[in-house]
Amino acid sequence: MQKAGKRVPGIVIAGLRGGSGKTVISLGITAAWKEKGLKVSPFKKGPDYIDAGWLSKAAGRPCYNLDTFLCTPSVVTQSYHENSIQCDIAVVEGNRGLYDGIDMDGTTSTAELAKLLNLPILLVLDCTKSTRTMAALLLGCMKFDPDINICGVILNRVAGKRHEGKVRTNIEKFCNIPVFGAVPKLKAKDFPERHMGLVTSEEHAFSDTAIRAAAKVARDTIDLDALYQTVTRQHHGSDSKEIIKTNLKKQRLTQSDPVTIGIIRDSAFQFYYPDNIEALKKLGATIVYISPLNENSIPDVHAIYMGGGFPETHAPQLAQNKTFRDDLKKLSQNGLPIYAECGGLIFLGQSIQLGDQEFPMSGIFPIKFGLSLRPQGHGYTKVEVVHENPFFKAGELLKGHEFRYSSILEIEYKDHEMAFKMERGKGIIDKKDGFYKLNTFGTYTHIHALGSPSWAPSLIEKAKAFKAGLAG
């Protein structure tokens, strides 16, 4: 076990592109190391809920997102340190290609994160229909930025021993980089890979079986001991005093002023950053989880936080639970603070149209939603708060991300009811987002509490005010 105050050794698992197989390999390595008795701290680079959910299940502990667009580099470094300090090793799964970022400088790329955290990179190479070229691609990655440390590679989707041998020989000759394993093309019976990135671990009926299968793939095809020794040997620890503390940690409610925040969480609504929930707890809130799929009413709470998810796949069940929907609408009309993102926003609307069926939602907002085959909003967002609203001050600049297939079929709103002007991203309609009525607020923009430090205190203050009103 690492000593308190020392940074934990870790590895960044990256690919040459999205879909290269790094998620399955990250899961397998994490689960297999856990089986060996190691405490593995999982992280996901970028704004991703699904991969993070799978990594959390594989490690048996929360997976935290590391994102230098949403948060400052010092906050990202602090998150890595604080959320891995009690573990033996950290596994950071990258996203997209190693050098892919938001600009020509590779800002927000996996490579830049690895450099920020001073972590070695394990590069996953999709070897489909390729042999010697893989050495050329690897050499290019090594030379493109000499400041990164590619400590080894995993060959993925190899067609057999002959194919593997050719790739290995070329990499060892031209790149002088160790090959820690070669993973064959996985069949459905070996691992349901087609589900990865498409289905959440909570929805996957065979998630435990899938994790065990990924661990077996790692055990059978990767030299886990050699990889672990390489990572720990290249580790350079640093004292915890180098970590910059955020102001959020210092803000706490007194025990005499507790509030209860209800979080809507089940298989329909499950997209939450652990940091967001923890930010509310650190400010003194008691958290209760509420399921519109399994409960008929809402318990006594002083505010509600609704994250994203897939309400469209559960639309019939949500529509059938009229008592819950009516209860939520009544509470909204009574001024209960409600903050909703993406899927939560849909549940606040009038209805969602799926094919030739229309399913009623809570009816708080005059919006009718549909569902498209292609993403209607995808990527990072920047918003300016242009109108007074329950949760943010006019003039604030926020960073977030959006990823949605839902579309707006009908909407009625007045301009001042849209708090956000989109500087980057699409929003709800006409580059506007942040729809609100009374103390109910819905947005397509997901924010990270550590990158938007005003959010958690604002929700807490609204909860306190609502509680005070009940007492009065």
Q: What residues are labeled active site?
A: 342
Q: What is the dihedral of CA 386, 441, 408, 359, to 10 degrees?
A: -170
Q: How far apart are CA 112 and CA 45, in angstroms?
A: 11
Q: How far apart are CA 57 and CA 46, in angstroms?
A: 18
Picking from 22, 13, 57, 454, the residue whose alpha carbon sits closest to that of residue 270 is 57
Q: HSE (CB half, 13 Å, CA atoms) of 213?
A: 15
Picking from 134, 214, 218, the residue whose alpha carbon sits closest to that of residue 177 is 134
* CB distance 3 to 184 below 8 Å: no
Classify 262 as helix, strand or coil: strand
Q: How far apart are CA 32 and CA 59, in angstroms?
A: 9
CA-based radius of gyration for the chain = 23
Q: Residue 318 to residues 292, 322, 323, 326, 330: CA-CA distances in angstroms?
A: 7, 8, 10, 12, 17
Alpha helix stretches (DSSP H) within 83-223: 110-117, 132-144, 161-174, 207-221
Amino acid at 441: F
* CB distance 196 to 178 below 8 Å: no
The strand pairing partners of 337, in sequence order, are none
Q: How far apart are CA 138 and CA 185, in angstroms?
A: 20
Exposed / middle / buried, residue 70 (Cβ in 10 Å: 0-12, 13-18, 19+): buried
C-alpha dihedral sign at 446, 452, 456, 461: negative
Q: How far apart are CA 323 and CA 313, in angstroms?
A: 20
Q: How far apart are CA 442 and CA 346, in angstroms?
A: 9
Picking from 296, 274, 279, 277, the residue whose alpha carbon sits closest to that of residue 288 is 277
